[in-house]
Amino acid sequence: MYDFVFHNPTKIIFGPDREREIGRELKDAAVGRVLLVYGRSSVKQSGLLARVSDALKAEGIEFFEHGGVVSNPVLSHVREGIALVRQNRVEAVLAVGGGSVLDEAKAIAVGVVAEVDVWEFFTGREVTAALPVFTVLTLAASGSEMNGNAVITNEETRQKYNIGTSHVYPRVSILNPELTHTVSPEYSAYGAVDAIAHLIEAYFTKQPGTNLQDRLVEGLILTIMENAETIRDQPDHAQARASMMWAATLALNGLTPAGVGPYTFPNHMIEHSLSALYDIPHGAGLAVVIPAWMQWYRPQNPGQFQRFASQIFGLHDGEEGIVALKKWFSSLNCPTTLQEAGIAAADIPLIRDNAYDTAKLWEVDKLYPPESIEEILQLATR
């Protein structure tokens, strides 16, 4: 155990139909004017947007719409949202959607109260304020609903960078697992991979000797795996969708790394370059990167890989655990090589350089020099 501060003030309201409570939550927080951020057509077609709008109207809350958020949300659209908020002087941002929508809402919340361009916060400037963020979640994956992170892609510079700040923890997040029943098989699988990725970054890269946190991680991974399989076979299985949703939230809400000491996020570091350069889904990119990174990293922490193999797959050998996880990703129809993700091996130098820029920004460039990143990417071709 190492020193830590844990402070997660997000209120989670979980269960079918509970998006109807969002109006009251905003009113309780004295919000009278809100920016409503959402993605493409699905939230309109499903009737969710209408239900949320009704909940706002019922409490007399004025709202302004900012739709059209894309997967791997882009900086230009964030800036449009900021302009809209400034025009209409709203008091909070309400995201209705998956991780991309939540992340864009957080970026807008930060950018609107700043005197500098919002991208500065993604390249190192400290966030010191933000509008309050509220969310209605439609996808089990990113954990953004209960943390202070947001990832945005600058499509001009092809950089996918993040902020992490206490100022954008959502005040309230509404998790209705029924909203995830219609998520496509692909995105359901990518969500599971993303949640597992959030858990294993610290699990493998921290120091040894934190049994408590290891057990929490293993319990969550087993939960995510069993429910991902159920969802693959029965997409509208209510219990599996509900367990997956809460497990994905717990996978990145600060609980599991609290007390484990320093750790790194290398799989995300490399994957962000894949989705920045090729606009592939984040979870698909992770399914490619993770098995390769695990192979590359295993000699640095063989005991933990053996533990992983044993606790997750009942296997004795660390290498076998990696193979089993890769097979499991395939069983969910996720790509597990660059080629399967539609990326040519010839692009490896380009990806390497992009990821190395992130390594420098995250101050892990000593651990991940260009040649190491290239080695990992080479392993991702097999």
Q: Binding a copy of itself by CB under 8 A: which of 83, 113, 255, 361? A: 255
The three-class DSSP label of residue 285 is helix
- Contact of 258 with 285, CB cutoff 8 Å: no
The stretch among 35-43, 83-91, 116-124, 236-244 that binds a copy of itself (CB under 8 A) is 236-244
CA–CA distance, 256 with 110 (Å, rounded to integer) = 26
Instruction: CB nearer to a copy of itself: give 6 or 50.
Output: 6
Give the contact letters, 203-222, x = binds to a copy of itself (CB under 8 A), - = no. ------xxxx--xx-xxx-x
Q: Binding a copy of itself by CB under 8 A: which of 67, 68, 235, 259? A: 259
For 83, the token pair is 């302009």
Q: Binding a copy of itself by CB under 8 A: which of 186, 226, 374, 375? A: 226
The three-class DSSP label of residue 147 is coil
CA distances from 20 to 9, 15, 48, 53, 276 (A): 21, 11, 10, 9, 35
Instruction: CB nearer to a copy of itself: give 261 or 370.
Output: 261
* Min CB(202)–a copy of itself separation in Å: 15
The stretch among 2-10, 26-34, 148-156, 292-300 that binds a copy of itself (CB under 8 A) is 2-10
- Contact of 10 with 169, CB cutoff 8 Å: yes
φ/ψ of 36, rounded to 5, equals: -100, 110
Give the contact letters, 6-45, x = binds to a copy of itself (CB under 8 A), - = no. xxxxxxxxxxx-x---------------------------
Q: Binding a copy of itself by CB under 8 A: which of 34, 49, 82, 242? A: 242
CA–CA distance, 112 with 78 (Å, rounded to integer) = 10
Question: Which residue's entry shows tokens 């946190």?
Answer: 213
* Min CB(8)–a copy of itself separation in Å: 7
Q: What is the footprint of a copy of itself within residues 95-154 (CB under 8 A)?
A: none
Which of 188, 287, 190, 199 minimizes the C-alpha distance to 241?
188
Q: Binding a copy of itself by CB under 8 A: which of 143, 177, 283, 321? A: 177
Decide: is 234 part of the binding site for a copy of itself (CB under 8 A): no
* Min CB(291)–a copy of itself separation in Å: 24
Q: Binding a copy of itself by CB under 8 A: which of 71, 138, 243, 275? A: 243
Cα 291 → chain centroid: 19
* # chain residues binding a copy of itself, by CB under 8 A: 38
* Min CB(231)–a copy of itself separation in Å: 14
Instruction: CB nearer to a copy of itself: give 10 or 153.
Output: 10
* Min CB(33)–a copy of itself separation in Å: 24
For 349, the token pair is 């130098």
Decide: is 260 part of the binding site for a copy of itself (CB under 8 A): no
Instruction: CB nearer to a copy of itself: give 207 or 331.
Output: 207
CA distances from 300 to 172, 205, 214, 228, 363 (A): 40, 9, 17, 30, 19
- Contact of 130 with 113, CB cutoff 8 Å: yes
Instruction: CB nearer to a copy of itself: give 153 or 210.
Output: 210
CA–CA distance, 376 with 243 (Å, rounded to integer) = 33
Decide: is 235 part of the binding site for a copy of itself (CB under 8 A): no
Contacts of 21 (CB under 8 A, 6+ apart): 13, 55, 174
Which of 322, 321, 319, 326 minimizes the C-alpha distance to 311?
321
Strands (E), 148-251: 149-154, 159-164, 172-175
Where does this chain bind a copy of itself (CB under 8 A)? 1-16, 18, 177, 209-212, 215-216, 218-220, 222-223, 226, 239, 242-243, 246-247, 255, 258-259
